């Protein structure tokens, strides 16, 4: 019986264990987690979401404080159009975060950074260009473009000296999105090095509609994309993601022609994951009906999360002067609109509750939005319950090796 270790992900002459740990925004997929994946011969991801805040927490910088100081005068103003990121500071923060990972990297694997297009930072093109270019400058092995169609993203770095040597990949949820991307970038004569195909059971934002995500199935989308690439004679590694929970699940995709798998949820139960330990316990003990897909993310994409996330219904004042990562380029964010509506409807109220949107920057910064994959409710089967009722946290190495070597849909429990 075959296992994941019988396969290899190939980029030219380089070979890797075909396990990619997906990016989990705002430091849930930490540098430490990515380092473990790379040490074990696979691919780890960091994420550049809210990179200034992450750098402040990890590297004792003060980017967020400085930005807040600069825009403090605007805190009570609902017009956020003046709240901009200093591109030099953004470059520095990205360099810190990516550089810290790359300097510590050991082993034969690689570290990629997940870059979400929806992180529009009140100047979508300029900030994305800086994020991508600084990650390349800091030596990142590869960039995974996510949360958006990224039709212009390759163009933003086409003149970067590493544009053709770094691995550049795209996450899509449909053949149509992939075709659009390939068509738009044809003139650059640079195909993506890999395509992550993310299905409807993934964590984070979903590339499907809130009403129709149940109608899609990862295996069907992967088969369509493999067939398309074959017909077009395009040799690009395809990496399915979303709901691949056991080594056997992964092996079945490799057997159908996938080059690797991208996995994330199982790593939320590891010590290296950036969620606070208390939150990890919430994930591990979750039952199936504790999880929902909702529309509270201001990005407009559906997001899967635990229903008990403190972010749901919270009505804090928008924190754009400190954060502002989702401002759309004209100072707007769907949370600001929802918040203002509630404030106007409840004059004199000390605190309002906003049910339809959340201040995602603040919620992710405080680990209050517990986004998770569909199979989070199976995490309790991957570990042991301790005498005090809590669950034993795993090591990333344990989970990685379980994916790599397990067969027969088995999950190895920790020692
Ligand atoms: C907690 C969590 C946070 C995530 N954050 C992001 C993110 O910031 N950007 C992104 O592209 N994908 C994100 N994802 C999606 C993963 O990278 C991955 O593709 C997907 O979850 C794989 O499916 P699985 O969780 O069922 O293994 C996140 C997933 C989880 C579980």
Helix (H) or strand (E) holding 114: strand 110-116
* Residue 84 DSSP one-character state: -
For ligand 1, say whether the CB of 247 is within 6 Å of any of its atoms.
no
Pairing state of beta strands 291-294 and 238-241? unpaired
Q: Ligand 1: which residue has its CA nearest to atom 3?
A: 24
Structure token pair of residue 65: 């404080």
| Ligand 1 atom closest to the CA of 22, numbered from 1 | 17
- State the alpha helices, DSSP H only, in 105-236: 124-137, 153-156, 175-185, 218-231
What letter would DSSP give residue 377? G
CB distance 171 to ligand 1 below 6 Å: yes
Residues in the chain: 415
Q: Which two tokens stand for residue 61?
A: 């910088």
Q: Are strands 14-16 and 194-198 parallel, antiparallel or unpaired?
A: unpaired
Cβ 204 under 6 angstroms from ligand 1: yes
> The tokens of 332 are what?
């707007």
Q: Whose CA is nearest to atom 30 of ligand 1?
A: 203
**Residue 389: exposure state from Cβ atoms within 10 A (0-12, 13-18, ≥19):** exposed
The preferred substitution site among 112, 201, 203 for testing ligand 1, maximizing ligand atoms within 8 Å of CB, is 203
Q: What are the structure tokens assigned to 57, written together?
A: 């927490």
Q: Give distance in angstroms: CA of 93 to centre of ligand 1.
A: 23
Q: What kind of architecture, by CATH, is found in domain 4-405?
A: Alpha-Beta Barrel (3.20)
Query: Ligand 1: does its nearest atom lie under 6 Å from the Cβ of 298?
Result: no
Give residue-wise pLDDT tens across range 160-182: 999 999 999 999 999 999 999 99
306 lines ligand 1 (CB under 6 A): no
Cβ of 38 below 6 Å from ligand 1:
no
Burial of 11 (0-12, 13-18, 19+ CB in 10 A): middle
Q: Ligand 1 atom 5: the closest Cα is on which residue?
A: 24
Closest CA to 299 of 244, 366, 369, 352: 369
CA 236 to centroid of ligand 1, rounded, Å: 22
Q: Is the Cβ–Cβ distance between 350 and 283 less than 8 Å?
A: no
Q: How far apart (Å, rounded) are the C-alpha atoms in residues 206 and 239?
A: 16
Answer for the pair 305, 372: CB distance below 8 angstroms, yes or no: yes
Tell me, using a 6 A CB cutoff, whether residue 146 lines ligand 1. yes
Q: What is the pLDDT, as a whole number, of residue 145?
A: 98
Pocket test for ligand 1, best of 22, 45, 363 (most atoms within 8 A of CB): 22
Residue in 199, 177, 102 with CA at minimum distance from that of residue 142 = 102
Residue 119's pLDDT is 98
pLDDT tens-digit series, residues 260-304? 999 999 999 999 999 999 999 999 999 999 999 999 999 999 999
Of ligand 1's listed atoms, the one at least distance from the Cα of 243 is: 26
Nearest atom in ligand 1 to 23's CA: 17
Ligand 1 close to Cβ of residue 203 (< 6 A) = yes
Q: Backbone dihedral region of 295: left (phi > 0), alpha (psi from -120 to 50 degrees) or beta?
A: alpha
Residue identifier of the C-alpha nearest atom 29 of ligand 1: 203
Maximum Cα interatomic distance, the chain, rounded to a whole number of Å: 67
Which of 113, 119, 104, 122 lies closest to 36 in space, CA to CA? 104
What residue's CA is closest to ligand 1, atom 10? 23
Q: Is the CB of 262 under 6 A from ligand 1?
A: yes
Which positions of the chain have pLDDT values less than 70?
none
Dihedral, 266, 268, 272, 275 alpha carbons, nearest 10: 180
Q: Is 367 helix (H, G, I), strand (E, B) or coil?
A: coil
Rounded Cα–Cα distance for residues 221 and 118 (Å): 23
């Amino acid at each position: 019986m075959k296992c994941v270790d019988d396969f290899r992900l190939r980029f030219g002459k380089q070979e890797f264990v075909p396990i990619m740990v997906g990016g989990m925004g705002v430091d849930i997929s930490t540098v430490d987690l990515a380092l473990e994946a790379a040490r074990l011969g696979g691919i780890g991801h960091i994420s550049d979401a809210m990179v200034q805040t992450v750098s402040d927490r990890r590297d004792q910088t003060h980017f967020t404080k400085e930005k807040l100081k600069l825009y403090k005068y605007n805190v009570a103003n609902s017009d956020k159009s003046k709240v901009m990121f200093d591109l030099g500071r953004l470059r520095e923060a990205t360099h810190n975060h990516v550089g810290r990972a790359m300097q510590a990297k050991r082993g034969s694997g690689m570290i990629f950074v997940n870059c979400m297009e929806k992180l529009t930072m009140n100047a979508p093109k300029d900030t994305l260009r800086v994020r991508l270019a600084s990650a390349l400058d800091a030596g990142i092995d590869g960039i995974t473009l996510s949360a958006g169609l990224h039709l212009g993203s390759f163009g933003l770095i086409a003149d970067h000296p590493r544009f053709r040597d770094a691995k550049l990949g795209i996450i899509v949820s449909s053949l149509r999105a992939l075709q659009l991307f390939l068509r738009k970038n044809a003139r650059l004569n640079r195909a993506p090095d890999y395509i992550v195909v993310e299905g409807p059971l993934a964590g984070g934002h979903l590339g499907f509609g809130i009403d129709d995500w149940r109608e899609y199935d990862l295996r069907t989308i992967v088969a369509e994309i493999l067939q398309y690439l074959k017909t077009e004679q395009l040799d690009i590694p395809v990496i399915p993601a979303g709901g691949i929970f056991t080594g056997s699940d992964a092996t079945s995709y490799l057997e159908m022609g996938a080059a690797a798998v991208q996995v994330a949820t199982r790593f939320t139960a590891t010590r290296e994951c950036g969620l606070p330990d208390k939150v990890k316990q919430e994930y591990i003990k979750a039952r199936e009906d504790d999880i929902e897909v909702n529309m509270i993310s201001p990005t407009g994409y559906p997001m899967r999360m635990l229903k008990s996330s403190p972010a749901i219904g919270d009505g804090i004042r928008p924190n754009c002067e400190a954060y502002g990562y989702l401002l759309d380029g004209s100072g707007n964010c769907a949370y600001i609109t929802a918040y203002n509506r509630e404030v106007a409807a409840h004059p004199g109220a000390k605190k309002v509750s906003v049910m339809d949107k959340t201040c995602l920057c603040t919620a992710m910064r405080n680990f209050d939005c517990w986004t998770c994959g569909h199979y989070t409710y199976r995490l309790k089967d991957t570990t042991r319950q301790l005498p005090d009722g809590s669950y034993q946290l795993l090591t990333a190495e344990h989970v990685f090796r379980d994916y790599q070597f397990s067969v027969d849909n088995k999950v190895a429990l920790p020692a």
